[in-house]
Amino acid sequence: MEKIAVLGAGSWGTALAMVLNDNGHDVRLWTHIEAHANEINQTHRNPMYLKDVVIPEEIKAYFKLEEAIEDVSAILLVLPTEVIRLVCQQLREVLKHKVTIIHGTKGIEPETFKRVSEMIEEELPRELYDEIVILSGPSHAEEVSIGHPTTVTAASKSEKAAIHAQNLFMNERFRVYSGTDVIGVELGGALKNIIALGAGISDGLGYGDNAKAALVTRGLAEIARLGTAMGADPLTFIGLTGVGDLIVTSTSKHSRNWNAGNLLAQGYSLDEVLAKMNMVVEGVRTAKAAYHLGKEKNIEMPITAGIYKVLFENANAREIVDELMTRTKRNEIDEIHNMLKQYYQQN
């Protein structure tokens, strides 16, 4: 049994706190809003984020960060990418002992192109943590919190730390694989959100299943191309944190990214969509990051570019689809071979 603080009492933080509690750990759930902590402690519900779930009484919510992290062996960050640096800065003021950091956040910082673990490394002094582990994969909080079978991957540069996290979370409803490709796991989880926005747009426009399958498959090719150029193992993208998460986020009614895309296709502006969604839509900021990163690295990412233009340049989504469909002819498998050849030459 370990004492673990979960920072972020949104839908995913709450669901993961419940998994850890099921596994017998002492879980503290931190929210930066005092009334939110009081509501969870008094009602054992979190209606704004996970409306149909009763939170076990053993899980206590905290508003004061220093109390939430007292004596914990691990800290799980489950926050929007946008506030990762801010919360790490708050953490370094109050954390006085070494912990294992685990994070479940899926995004890339648009200004720096940094992955979440890189931001954590930049903000937390090295003496405050032993390892950083990423927990990622096809896992909507709404299903995890009611015990539907779910599989994810725990990845760390340290295999021992990945296996430690695997042991913390794994149970008969929540199967955890381990891995060491931190770059591939983080980029797969972040970049799939862009394609899921596109899937929501495609469905919202009334295009069919063929279009969505094309988007997901060719989207995966873009994710793998950029990811491999950034140092990931291309094979990671055919695993749970790549194609697995891409499938669930592009097809699930629970997906925030899919729903946001769907609303965009119905004619709402981006600001209106974000105001309607009370949860974070990570794909929006990550689309900005991936679009500019792809340009900088000279990686061809036509779907990502199209979604970026719909989000930020008011482009017409149907016209973007027409452009994608009429690009110059390509050989599908040659592209994949080239990517793999390049990777194996360098590794």
Residues making contact with ligand NAI (CB under 6 A):
8-13, 31-32, 49, 78-81, 83, 86-87, 104-107, 139-141, 279-280, 282
Which spans in the chain are helix H?
A: 11-22, 34-43, 65-68, 84-94, 116-123, 141-144, 159-169, 182-205, 209-229, 245-251, 256-265, 270-276, 282-297, 302-312, 317-325, 332-346
Question: How far lies 89's CA from each of 92, 94, 125, in Å?
Answer: 5, 9, 10
Query: Is 9 among the annotated ligand-binding positions?
Result: yes
Nearest to ligand NAI of 86, 213 (CB atom): 86
CA dist., res. 287 & res. 86, Å (int):
21
Distance of alpha carbon 231 from the chain centroid: 19
Nearest to ligand NAI of 15, 211 (CB atom): 15
Contact (Cβ atoms closer than 8 angstroms) between residue 92 and residue 125: yes
Q: Which residues are registered as beta bridge partners of 177? A: 153
Nearest to ligand NAI of 87, 301 (CB atom): 87
Residue 248 binds which entry of ligand NAI, ligand 13P, none, with Cβ cut-offs from 5 to 8 Å by kind? ligand 13P
Residue 86 binds which entry of ligand 13P, ligand NAI, none, with Cβ cut-offs from 5 to 8 Å by kind? ligand NAI
Q: Concatenated DSSP letters for 86-145?
A: HHHHHHHHH--S-EEEEE----B-TTT--BHHHHHHHHS-GGGEEEEEEEESS--HHHHT
CA dist., res. 43 & res. 133, Å (int):
32
Contact (Cβ atoms closer than 8 angstroms) between residue 17 and residue 27: yes
- Binding of ligand 13P at residue 139 (CB under 6 A)? yes
- The mark string for 251-290 relative to ligand 13P (x by CB under 6 A, - otherwise) is ---xxxx------------------------x--------
Active site residues: 192
Q: Among 153, 202, 249, 262, which residue sits at the site for ligand 13P (rule: CB under 6 A)?
A: 249
Query: Is 250 among the annotated ligand-binding positions?
Result: no
Q: How far is the CB of 138 from ligand 13P (least distance, A)?
A: 5
- Binding of ligand 13P at residue 200 (CB under 6 A)? no
Nearest to ligand NAI of 139, 166 (CB atom): 139
Residue 114 binds which entry of ligand NAI, ligand 13P, none, with Cβ cut-offs from 5 to 8 Å by kind? none
Q: What residues are designated binding site for sn-glycerol 3-phosphate? A: 106, 137, 139, 192, 245, 255-257
Q: What is the binding site for ligand 13P (CB under 6 A)?
A: 106, 138-140, 193, 196, 245, 248-249, 254-257, 282
Q: What residues are designated binding site for substrate? A: 106, 256-257
